[in-house]
Amino acid sequence: MVISNNQIRLCHLDAVRGFAAIAVLFHHCFYSFRGIYLNEAFKSICGSMPVIIFFILSGFVLSESLGKNNITIHSTFRFYIRRLFRIYPAVIVSLIFAAIVARIVIVPSDKYPAGELFTWFERCAKNIYSIKDYIDCCILKNFFLDNPLWTIKVELYGSLFIPLFIFAINYQFLVLIIGFIIVYINKGSPHIYINDNLWCFYLGFLIYYFKNYCAVITEKSSIILIPFLLLICIISSLYLSHLITSLCCGLLVYLLVPCNSSVIRSFLNTDSAQFFGKISYGLYLVHYPMLFLVWTLLLCSIPWVLLLRPVTASATFVFFTCLTLSIPLAFTLHQFVEDPINKIGHRYFR
């Protein structure tokens, strides 16, 4: 059945989200230290590239979901409400957690190799006191408490455009026109975070639009092309523009949608990969404040761990500690906030 196949595809794509969330956590943990030679490379490979993949996957999955029905004012309204139910409750809970962490966190002295993230945190998060400041964080006007939440703002903006993309299918010339408009916005606007990444949502839509063509790719071709394109994405993220990197990541996701390689698909459908896929959103939301909490716990208990040589040894310890503590929190967020509220949204806004 087509429905069953779609569900399988979405399951293994969820696993891709899980690994992308872990990669972002890895980047932030290492970037919390200064003196790591490869930090800027990690920022591109484990920071920027996974976020691009997040947005492309969202563009595809949302197009796949909305494209099953005719686009009307009513269906568009339902879609927007369900997106708010899906995204916002977990954001609010993660911000409450971040606000608590901001009050108890200890900023390391110059003795410790703390990086730029602590400069940002000290300047912003620890100076939030007024109700207006907290409201601004909740409405994503600023990201002082949890900086990665800028991606959630992009996610909301991208969601606004998905019905327009689906509507354009009925008038095929509009698909091309919308693409030109988004590329133009991508090139010249000062709102870099939002407009750069609207292009990624459009790529996700194009993957949905042309998805039937990738079914002809053989298993032997997939087992070669997927790792090759992953390598191209890594190289592109290091040396080429955001636009080119997005195109490379789009091609990678295009091959991952059917995932005709049984080896790769089996790996993505393992229990552990699926688990991380299930908690990927919560893991992404809570890992940043958890990172500062981990630093504080280590400063108060075993501070020598933060002074290991080479610095990468300390960063690796922080990474595994942060991941270990974030997993149960992300699972709890999924079980008691994300999943039940998302179901309420789908139940009352079908």
In DSSP terms, which residues pair with 33 in a beta bridge? 114
d(CA 143, CA 148): 7
d(CA 91, CA 99): 12
Among 62, 64, 49, 40, which Cα is nearest to 19's?
49
Tokens describing residue 293 = 């909490």
Q: Taking the model in full, what pTM does it have? A: 0.91
Cα angle, residue 340 at apex, residues 338 and 344 outer, rounded to 5°: 110
Instruction: Please count the structural domains in the chain.
Output: 1
pLDDT of residue 256: 94
Task: Note down the domain range covering 334.
Answer: 2-348
d(CA 207, CA 125): 38
Among 29, 25, 19, which Cα is nearest to 286's?
25
Query: At a CB cut-off of 8 Å and minimum separation 6, what does 343 contact?
Result: none
pLDDT of residue 178: 67
- Please give the average pLDDT of every successive group of 10 residues along the chain, which has 350 residues: 42 94 96 91 94 95 86 87 93 94 88 84 76 89 89 90 83 66 54 67 90 83 93 95 91 93 93 96 96 95 94 96 97 95 83
pLDDT of residue 3: 37
d(CA 282, CA 276): 10
Q: What is the pLDDT of residues 229-255, one digit of tens each?
A: 999 999 999 999 888 999 999 999 999
Q: What is the pLDDT of residues 80-108, one digit of tens each?
A: 999 999 999 999 999 999 999 988 888 88
